Amino acid sequence: MRQVIKDYAEHAGLSLEIARRTRDQFFPKALLNPDEIKGLDIMMPQAINLKFIADPLSANQLKELIQIPRHN
């Protein structure tokens, strides 16, 4: 068993089985990819409605804001 699951279970006060199920059902590896940004189409209108930004960001603004290094 990986130490990270043991640590998570202890920190969250969960059994190892619940910690494993939580990881597998709610945090699959495909959703945790740090090299991919998802949900901007949902977040942009929310940011405007909540007055975090005045207008939607342009494609160039997004390219400047989100810079993911390429892997070789």
**Helix, coil or strand: residue 57:** coil
According to the model, what pLDDT value does residue 17 have?
A: 95
User: Is residue 36 predicted with pLDDT exceeding 90?
Assistant: no
According to the model, what pLDDT value does residue 44 have?
A: 95
Token readout for 48 is: 């405007």
What distance lies between CA 9 and its chain's CA centroid?
20
pTM of the model: 0.51
Q: What integer best gives the mean pLDDT of the chain?
A: 90
User: Is residue 23 predicted with pLDDT exceeding 80?
Assistant: yes
| pLDDT tens digit sequence for 44-65 | 999 999 999 999 999 999 999 9
